[in-house]
Structure 1
Amino acid sequence: MSVQIHNLNNHHQDQAIWLDNFINIYSQLSVDNLHLLDRLYHQDIIFIDPMHSLQGLAQLNSYFSNLYSNLASCDFTIVQVIHEGNQAAIYWQMKFCHPRLNKGQEVEVSGSSHIQGDNDKVTYHRDYVDVGAMLYEHIPFIGKLIAFIKRRATKNV
């Protein structure tokens, strides 16, 4: 078994095409270039995140179009890649602005993705992210309630 941990400053020759594509596309993905997803994902992609489970490129494109249509900006920074065979764990930082979250100010959240690929396409993509830190904590009333609950939960620790 050979697990490869990639520092993004050092490109490895043995890295898979689908993984190179993922890193390159997500590093430049924005509200203005969602068409790049067609180059990345297989026609029968399985995509899962904490709020949705989708199958097929058409569903994925529709999901991303809806998601990004509400954002003023969204940028990903790939922090680390752990790669073995046809799968990889990607650790990332996402910064986004939504007019109704965090008073329209930028929100930054860490997350990771488990992806699998074949040749030049990603066939499976599952995101792991704290939805509270990404969404709920930035909704006016709910955010204050979550902050209160967190303070109470850690008070006796």
Structure 2
Amino acid sequence: MIINKYLKCWENLNPENVSELINCLDTKFYFLDPFVELNDKNSFNKHLLKILEKHKKLKFKIILKIKSNSDYLIKWNFKIEKSFVKPFSGISEIKTKEGLIISHIDYWDPVRNIYAHIPFLGKIFSLLK
């Protein structure tokens, strides 16, 4: 199943296996997270390589996979080694069609998980609560 291959790539994400992950995607693949919206697999490929160039030690751990027809909800834990970003959890909505991933939408809180840990910005966000 393409979803299992795709999730395995995420759990072992590194520059060497990005092409394997990209091969799971439809040409018109759609990606959305709190920072970026992309509308094709080539843009997503560039995005992933840029992130991996900056952060060498990204770790995703799949906690739960729920299937409904050709759609999946995936709960995951994420951490970046040697980073101010503390480990956090999120959920991804992944849609498949004809044996390929057609969309991946991430749901997680960037304020709580990233901005709150940046000096000065974190203080501002804590005052806004």
TM over 0.5: yes
Amino acid at match of 1:129: W
Deviations 1:5-59, CA, capped at 9 Å, x for gaps: xxxxxxxxxxxx1221222111211355322322222221011111211111111
Cα 1:49/1:65, change in 2 over 3 Å:
same
Give the aligned partner of residue 32 of structure 2. Answer: 48
Match of 2:68 among 81, 84, 101: 84
Give the aligned partner of residue 138 of structure 1. Answer: 117
Instruction: Output aligned runs, 1:28-47, within 5 Å.
Output: 28-47=12-31
Instruction: Output aligned runs, 1:117-136, within 5 Å.
Output: 117-136=96-115
CA separation in 2, counterparts of 1:36 and 1:138? 33
Other structure's SS at 1:107 match? coil
Instruction: Output aligned runs, 1:8-23, within 5 Å.
Output: 17-23=1-7
| Runs (5+) with no aligned partner, structure 1 | 1-16, 151-157
CA separation in 2, counterparts of 1:97 and 1:143? 20
Give the aligned partner of residue 58 of structure 2. Answer: 74
1:61: Cα distance to partner? 0.7
CA separation in 2, counterparts of 1:23 and 1:37? 9
Answer yes or no: is the 8 Å Cα contact 1:31–1:73 preserved in 2: no
CA separation in 1, counterparts of 2:28 and 2:106? 17
CA separation in 2, counterparts of 1:107 and 1:58? 29
| Rg larger in structure | 1
| Runs (5+) with no aligned partner, structure 2 | none
Give the aligned partner of residue 9 of structure 1. Answer: none
Deviations 1:96-124, CA, capped at 9 Å, x for gaps: 146xx52xxx6201100000112432111
Give the aligned partner of residue 95 of structure 2. Answer: 116
Deviations 1:69-114, CA, capped at 9 Å, x for gaps: 221310000000110111000000001146xx52xxx620110000
Amino acid at match of 1:130: D
Answer yes or no: is the 8 Å Cα contact 1:25–1:40 preserved in 2: no
Normalising by structure 2, we get a TM-score of 0.87
| Structural RMSD (CA) | 1.9
Normalising by structure 1, we get a TM-score of 0.73
Give the aligned partner of residue 10 of structure 2. Answer: 26
